[in-house]
Structure 1
Amino acid sequence: MRVLLTGWASFLHGEATAGDVLSLRAAEDALAAAGIDHRVAWSPGFRPGTLHLPDAPPEDYTHVVFVCGPVHGPQVRSLHERYAACRRIAVGVSVPDPGDPAVTGFHRVLARDAAGEARPDLSLGAKASAAPVLGVVLAPHQPEYGDAGRHDDVHAALTGWLAGLDCARVPLDTRLAHEDWQRCATPDQFVAALSKMDAVVTTRLHGLVLGLKAGVPVLAVDPVAGGGKVGAQAAALDWPVVAAEDAGDTALLDARLDWVFGAGRARAAVGPPEPSASLTGLVGELVGSR
């Protein structure tokens, strides 16, 4: 017996959702525990360099298992055609139309939801390791810096680096809006969101300031060549900053992130200094002008 595990994450024009991939992981673990030989076919767009359906000849397998998602459409039907000599099983799937050839082509369907039945989703049976959660706050184009603004280049380098990290990335925007559910309506909501992050990565002054206000360590990058307000604020808060010219140095970014999760965490817990001198100066200026 040799089983080929498939799902929507196996198709060239399919998609890989977190639930799909965890369900495939649960199926893998179950087969491994039972000592059943198996391999997983992945979409080349999702996992290049692994086994893909065109490289999994039908004669190499006795069974094809389709895991998770809705059973419908030509891509699922193509499995029945290609692996006609294999016993085909669907597990943890939704069955919107029991008469669909994509459904009837399976020898057995163990549905998570179909007419009159419902079972817990397979993803619940998969082990999921904890990954750090990074709040990402990027500055928009800032025309006041003219040609010194390196925002596009810095953001391209920074987001490319972030994409390669084993972490959850949460885009956050300091701009507030009452009508847009994707943004916070109050600054208190924004600081509350930052407080749930393990760390903040930002090119925005208030990403740095409010991250530290929330007690969260910050990897700050100044997007302005020669230094702009992010670098100046970092100096005022005695917090390290990566210069725009160094944003493409992945080794430096890796080292800075290690510092953020180490010494930076303890340092952020102390909290930033209060702007008492500025506020006292403002009050003094107003009182003196009466």
Structure 2
Amino acid sequence: MAKDRLMSPQGERLSAPVMAPDHDGEWRVTDTSPRAPHALIYGWFSYPVPGSTAGDLLAKDVAGQWVLTAGMACHVAVPCPARSGEVATGTVDPRRYDVLVFVCGPMPNYPLRHLVDSFPHARKIALNVSLLRDAWIQDKFDVVIQRDGAGVVRPDISFASQRHHAPVIARIYAGPQREYPNSRHDQVETVVSQALRDRDNAVLDVDTKLPHNQYGLTSIGQIESVIRRVDAVVTTRLHGSVLALRNGVPAVVIDAVPGGAKVRAQMEALGWPLVLGVERLRKESIHEALDHAFRPEYRQLAQAVARRARLSVDATRATFVTALGTSMRSRL
């Protein structure tokens, strides 16, 4: 069967730019050869339901790199294109592509049989897939490189993808407190949520309450172990900031009480600079504070603040012990 190819008015075959994912996952133009054969990468990431996992997306990037290595142009079918090199699943023109690559996951009859039937002219390759008992795939695909099935098991191709990193932020809220009826915790939490959505950060919500902990932590050790492993903390809670700094983790500390109360007072006593007030709280101020918090010198400063605090607490201990002695003598 002759392949159905799109042609220009001059009789030349139409071509789209070759795309390659860079370090941040964005697909960039790397070649615009008008004669480069075209491959379309398809997978569960091409459907809005059930959607994809991080592993599916890593496998997609690996497949894309391999396609480019073979000297072909590469597009990726997704429900809502947001990056260069992506095409809308619902508007794909099968005639543009010489090769259809289905990447990653199980291969059920529906909806994939309809997909491959839409590309009768193209070479069809199944890559990194799990073969089910239905043998239809063997008849519809020219090449099947399974991850598992039919007596074959291969390592998942996502092992070949580049590693991704996003800073981890622990978010610790105090919530309304009766002692501070004029606090604006709702306002603070809204602005913090908006700011964190703008950033490529992994956010962990941490509750410091015990024994009734919202996220299932059951001991101080568990709470501190979580905090110790993050890159920064955003908190409205006094002890959220203390737990961060005593573990050497930079904290963006927000006092939700207009004019400041115990949270700001504690940070000023410690000499910790990343303190924001509710009066002028903006997304931009949170972004600026987090950018500082991720810098190595602020982690060093957090460690130094913790050391100074421990020395100051030694003086508090001496005052307390003296008070205990005075109490005992007064009873004699």
| TM over 0.5, shorter chain | yes
The aligned runs of 1:26-41 (5 Å cut-off) are: 26-41=62-77
- Contact 1:71–1:103 (8 Å) recurs in 2: no
Matched with 1:209 is 242
SS in 1 for 2:174: coil
The aligned runs of 1:100-179 (5 Å cut-off) are: 105-146=140-181, 148-176=182-210
Counterparts of 2:114 and 2:255, CA distance in 1: 51
- Contact 1:72–1:100 (8 Å) recurs in 2: no
SS in 2 for 1:41: strand
Counterparts of 1:4 and 1:226, CA distance in 2: 58
Asked which structure has the greater CA Rg, the reply is: 2
SS in 1 for 2:186: helix
> Which residue, 272, 285, 288 being the options, matches 2:323?
285
Matched with 1:237 is 270
Identity of matched residues, %: 34
Q: 1:217 to 1:36 in 2, by over 3 A?
A: same
**Deviations for 1:250-272, whole angstroms, at most 9, x for unmatched residues?**
32222212221233222112142
**Deviations for 1:64-122, whole angstroms, at most 9, x for unmatched residues?**
21111222263434423444443332211222x23165776434321111131111111
- Contact 2:59–2:161 (8 Å) recurs in 1: yes
TM-score by length of 2: 0.75
Q: 1:101 to 1:145 in 2, by over 3 A?
A: farther
Gaps of 5+ in 1: none
> Which residue, 290, 294, 298 being the options, matches 1:261?
294
Gaps of 5+ in 2: 1-36
> Which residue, 278, 283, 287 being the options, matches 1:250?
283
By relative contact order (CA 8 Å, sep 6+), the higher-ranking structure is 1
- 1:129 is displaced (CA, Å) by 3.6
- Contact 2:194–2:283 (8 Å) recurs in 1: no
SS in 2 for 1:173: coil
Q: 1:60 to 1:173 in 2, by over 3 A?
A: same
* Aligned pairs, number: 285
Tell me how large the CA RMSD over aligned residues is: 2.8
Matched with 1:226 is 259
- 2:233 pairs with 1:200: yes
Q: 1:288 to 1:54 in 2, by over 3 A?
A: same
Q: 1:185 to 1:104 in 2, by over 3 A?
A: farther
- Contact 1:2–1:63 (8 Å) recurs in 2: yes
TM-score by length of 1: 0.85
> Which residue, 38, 62, 76 being the options, matches 1:2?
38
Matched with 2:9 is none
